[in-house]
Chain A
Amino acid sequence: MHPSSVMRAASLEEAVEVLAERGPSAGVVAGGTDLAVRRRRGLPVPEVWVDISSISGPARDIVRSQDRVVIGALATFRAIAASDLVRRTLPALYQAANIMGSVQIRNRATLGGNIGNASPAGDSLPPLIAGDATAHLLSSRGRRDIPVEDLFTGPGQTCLAPDELVEAVSYPVLEGAWSGFRRVATRASHDISKMSAALRATLEQGRLAAVRVALGAVAPVPLRVPDVEAMIDGRVFNGALLDAVGLAASRAARAITDVRSTAGYRADMCGEVVVELLESFIRDRRDPSGRAGLQQRRA
């Protein structure tokens, strides 16, 4: 598959005009780290590539806007991985951005691209879902907002219209919230997750609250797991809770066996990793000076 033309858009507004004009044969390319691989594999790629990678300004920015953090779709993983704002407000996303791909990939890959590519294994997706993030979509017809957890319809598929793109992502800043990301992969770095998970929660008067849990690479789409959340929300942390949560997280997985791992292992890891995230949360809360929440698991 060859792209037959590449047009450079000066702004996202211009890009969506082109998408509307050219119809479904056109698609946007940002960092290109996924699209280039699709092209090499002979998988369908747009005929007309609308290159948005050189757009500067708010589309790349990571800013605090009142009680939310707004990340432009063209923010690279490098930028997110270096953002003190993200580190403080959604550590899970910060951790995912730091471990995703390689330095080379992180320099090009964008948050909008990771969402648009809609891989069930996309490393930013569980943190965004756990962080209650909203995608701000843009088309020539206007703007609309969709919770990130509702964006994905299948592997590589989203509910975005063909002429629509992600303009930005934002998430609420929840005072006192903790979040964390873990993944399991073959290599210690530069790998694709066998499974991943993110958890966000607060502790209010000794009880867990505002809990959101999302799993990656264990279903056709990144998966929010309300059953698991409900089990944790409002509860006091204890060993029995951990066991029950681990079991529920494993059951929530709808994993498959493929070249990277097995369905059974992925399901098991859902339990282990969610439990480990909860343990890390509690450990961090008991030792707030500790930076355990920022440490990444070697797996």
Chain B
Amino acid sequence: MPEAPVEITMTINGVPRTIRTPPDRRLLDLLRDDLGLTGTKEGCGCGECGACTVLVDGALVNACLLLAAQADGASITTVEGLGTPESPSVVQAAFVAETASQCGYSTPGMVVAVTKLLEDHPEASRDEARRHLSGNLCRCTGYRQILNAVERARSGHVTFPAGADGVGRSAWRVDALDKVTGRTRYAADLPWPEGLLHGVTVRSTEVHARLVEVRTGRALAMPGVVRVLTSKDIPGETHFGNATPDQPVLVVDHIRFYGEAIAVVLAESLEAARDGAAAVEVVTEPLPPVTSPEAALADGAPLLHPDGNLAVHHRLSRGDARAAMARADVVVERTYRTPAQEHVCLEPEVAVAYPDGAGGVTVKAPSQNVFFDRHHIARALGLSKNRVRMIQTPTGAAFGGREDVYAHTHAALGAVLTGRPTRIVWTREESQVATTKRHPAVMQYKAGLSSNGKILAMEIRVLADTGAYQSWAPNIGRKMLVHATGPYDVENVSTDIRMAYTNNGISGAFRGFGATQVLFAAECFADELATAAGLSPVAFRRLNHLAIGRTTATGQKITGSCGLAECMDRAVAEAERMASLRPPPPPGTVRGRGLSTIYYGIGYGNAIPDIGSAIVELLPEGMFQVRCGAVEYGQGLLTVFTQIAAEVLGVGRGHIRVMTGDSAETPDSGSTVASRQTYVSGEAVRRAAERLRTELLEFAAQHWQRRLDRLTFTSDGLAAGGDILCSLEAFHRICVEKGVRTRRQARFKASSTRLDLETGQGNAYWPYAFAAHVAGVEVDTRTGNVRVISIVAAHDVGKAINPAMVEGQIAGGAAQGLGFALFENHRFDNGVPLTRNLDTYRIPGFTDMPDVVPILVEEPEPTGPFGAKGVGEPVLVALPPAIANAVAAATGKRFRELPILPEDVRRALCGRPGNAGSATEEG
């Protein structure tokens, strides 16, 4: 047992403090839990991510690795000690001005590290800054805008004026000041209410087993343990699921993956809950594990679910692929493979549930859809939806990883059953083993070409691993089906997508949603087809690309915004220009460039009701409030809505307030997924604001007897020409007196049609985003190491509401794409996960990312707000094939499996004559 607390003295942010603390307390816990300095975050707990970076006696330190007792006598500075939203430091201001925060979770540690960097090395170059900052990981930004902030801060004078707020301006993010000063409270940062219980999850250490019994007696006898939740405690439905309820809230009788939640121990303290969880005895009978989709579909395979192991089977057929293939002059067949990828949201899963005293519950947690979460929670609790309120907390990134409920239901269950608030915070290790991953896929491609290089036919077969449960598998399979050919007009297509249950964790939604895998295959295949046709990659694509008037594999005619050709031309030209300026490669390396072009359906597609809904209201205090059930998770939604409302209403950002993600207070606007919210909810906000403005000004015209076309709202009030008629507060008062409603709601529905089940034909999505990437790589011929030295990313976004935020999406998505291409791979050994923290599951750091060069192409989409489409996912999807094509150009070897590891490159290059010490020209 721990000895008595020790007394330690520290100066924290300039204030001397004497604190009694257990001797084994980490500095991080002391700062966050005992002193309430929650600006310092926990991301990994093992010194890998840097989210907990603080200054101890002037030196950067990971607060997760240091015992508080080891800092006795030290002077400590946290992000809170550097500045406040009212008075930010130069570095904090530079982060705001350069849009250097997105989800904001890594930002406080990053701000501390940059502050120290500029103290010690004020003249550091971008590359030197990269090396110094490499102990801080960021999953959202791709580091580009953080480096811009370093350069901006160096000047010493940073301003970020209000004013430039309208559509098309790089307005600074409305949530940035709180994020850069550590003021933003994520769910784990919320104050601990009286009577709080801490929950720790008991997880399966078996891959596949029958659950015989959960013995809770020993745990319940331990000091501080209040209750142990098992499946028997679930008052409502024991199973849930996005597509189909195949997943238990807590294992009932069948364990289907390593790390699956079996019980939750609730205790008075986190330590007691942890000790209690270790004392729960789980009795099982092992079953043979099913560890590949091929094995899952083999005869006699153990069944994971009663209806068999084939979870999804989608087919598409256009024209007559077989006949056209027979007519082709050239036929090419290739197989491509992609691995499981983890989102690595730096904020691990967390939920805090508060009982309402009447049997209902409020849950605060990160989320991509509070209405789905509410649905799942209410169903498990056996409550009607209106008894459950789900409030999204500021979310430390999502990327599709928050489209499933995790701790939410467990915390709600604890709160309702005990009547006490319940807090569950997952560790990075739990997040790594128990959340969804990108579906691993094997993709067989076959194409027939005419002698001049036109694609006559394609046959595509995909087998993907959905893991233990479906999550979103049918929808992801459909996105694969639609995008599998790549952005090409192919008259004869036959596509077959199968997804199988296995015991390899769970696969689910991840930025790109199935399109990532098939577009990797399709765009590598396009280069291989170009070679077979004797054409350059550009010429081959130009010949076959979709364009206005051409038709997709689902038979959908492209009629609207299509910036594909412009994206390709501009990306290729810029990459060529950059390459011409680059000095020759160092000895022992070879270089190459690779192109990829993609299209990407925005929104749910397949006639799933795709509705944005927003309320805009003039409040008594003279502010306009936007309410929408969509959520901000770093992509910049709050700022986009602010800019759209400011543009329409004519007022400054200071007069717009945005409320999102509260199931009781905001209208359901669907999931914040599928790159859809700027398009769908942005348009709803625009419409609601337009309607409110028009109707209120019509009233004003009547009331003041002025010409309608002279009236506007301004930040100073209601104006007629140059005259202010009254303040917005006064105007609100008059509206109320005259019985004029000051609130309007509007909806916008995206159009798509249901795909035919047999043929996959229909207008799958509306609209499509287009992109072209060119990656430049330098391959070390001795080590096989691939370094990405340039990324040019051209994206047709319709209209950039906020260009800086679009560029942030592009650089951040590119970083995830680079990781997927070169090293990310959530690995299993016979179903047991091997990559359980960020020391083995590597994500790209500062020194892995070149400065992405974004190119914004704006082909206005007639149905979108100000012509906007979406950008969130295409940014990731386009890069991996560009990198693979670049490696092929550099080495002459084609790598068809991701990640492209140095081990494989080295093997392929071995024996290739003359590779040591020589360099080839760029391909």
Asked if B282 is at the interface of the complex by the 8 Å CB criterion, the answer is no
Chain B CB count within 10 A is highest, among A51, A186, A264, for A186
Interfacial residues, chain A to chain B (CB-CB below 8 A): 2-6, 8, 29, 31-33, 36-37, 40, 49, 51, 53-54, 78, 101-105, 107-108, 184, 186-192, 259-262, 264-265, 268-269, 272, 276, 298-299
A299 pairs with B135, CB closer than 8 A: no
Question: What is the interface size of chain B, counting residues whose CB is below 8 A from a CB of the partner?
Answer: 58
Given contacts A4-B3, A187-B847, 9 further A-B contacts (CB under 8 A): A2-B2, A6-B23, A6-B69, A29-B70, A103-B135, A105-B62, A192-B839, A299-B780, A299-B783
- Cβ distance B551 to chain A, nearest Cβ, rounded Å: 43
Whether A190 touches B135, Cβ cut-off 8 Å, given contacts A3-B23, A6-B67, A261-B903, is yes
User: Contacts A103-B135, A107-B60, A259-B834: A298 and B69 contacting too (C-beta < 8 A)?
Assistant: no
Q: How far is it, in angstroms, between the C-alpha of A141 and the C-alpha of B132 when the chains are bound?
A: 43
The answer on a CB contact under 8 Å between B823 and A186 is: yes
B45-53, B748-756, B801-809: which lies at the interface:
B45-53
- Docked pose: A261 CA to B823 CA in angstroms: 11
CB neighbours (8 Å) of B26 from chain A are 36
B24 contacts A6, CB within 8 Å?
A: yes
| Mask of B105-133 contacts with A, CB within 8 angstroms, 1/0 | 00000000100100000000000001111
CB distance A276 to B782 under 8 Å?
yes
Measured CA separation A192–B845 after assembly (Å) = 13
Contact A36 B787 (CB under 8 A): no
Report the Cα distance A36→B62, complex, angstroms: 11
Query: In the docked arrangement, what's the CA distance between A108 and B839, Å?
Result: 18
CB contact between A4 and one of B2, B70, B73, B783 (< 8 Å): that residue: B2
Report whether over half of chain B's contact residues are helix, strand or loop; otherwise say mixed.
loop
Smallest beta-carbon distance A172→chain B, Å: 31
Contact of A32 among B3, B6, B65 (CB under 8 A): B65
CA A187 – CA B135 in complex, angstroms? 12
Q: Give A187 to B143 CA distance when docked, in angstroms.
A: 15
B903 near A265: Cβ-Cβ < 8 Å: yes
Q: Using a CB–CB distance below 8 Å, which chain B residues touch chain A?
A: 1-3, 6, 23-24, 26, 45-48, 50, 53, 59-62, 64-67, 69-70, 72-73, 113, 116, 130-136, 271, 780, 782-785, 787, 823, 827, 834-835, 839-840, 842, 844-848, 902-903, 906-907, 910
Between-chain CB contacts (< 8 Å), 26 pairs? A2-B271, A8-B72, A32-B66, A36-B26, A37-B839, A54-B70, A101-B135, A102-B50, A103-B116, A103-B134, A104-B62, A107-B60, A184-B785, A187-B848, A188-B134, A188-B787, A189-B134, A190-B48, A190-B134, A260-B840, A264-B907, A265-B906, A272-B783, A276-B782, A298-B780, A299-B783
B840 in contact with A36 (CB, 8 Å)? no
Min C-beta distance of A189 to chain B, whole Å? 4
Q: Looking at B53, B64, B72, B845, which has the most chain A CB atoms within 10 Å of its CB?
A: B845
Q: Are A6 and B903 CB-contacts (below 8 A) given A32-B65, A187-B845?
A: no
- Least CB distance from A211 to B in Å reads 21
Output the least CB separation between B888 and chain A (Å): 21
Q: Which residues of the other chain, A, contact B69 by a CB distance below 8 angstroms?
A: 6, 8, 51
Cα A105 to Cα B23 with chains together (Å): 22
Residues of B within 8 A of A186 (CB): 823, 842
Give Cα A8–Cα B74 distance, bound, in whole angstroms: 14
A275 CB, nearest partner CB in chain B, Å: 8
Using Cβ atoms and an 8 Å threshold, which residues of chain A touch B116?
A: 103
Residues of chain B with a CB closer than 8 A to A268's CB = 906, 910
B821 to chain A, nearest CB (A): 13
**Which B residues touch A105, using CB under 8 A?**
47, 62, 65, 135
Cβ distance A205 to chain B, nearest Cβ, rounded Å:
27
Contact B135 A269 (CB under 8 A): no
Q: Which B-chain residue is minimally distant from A105 (CB atoms)? A: B47
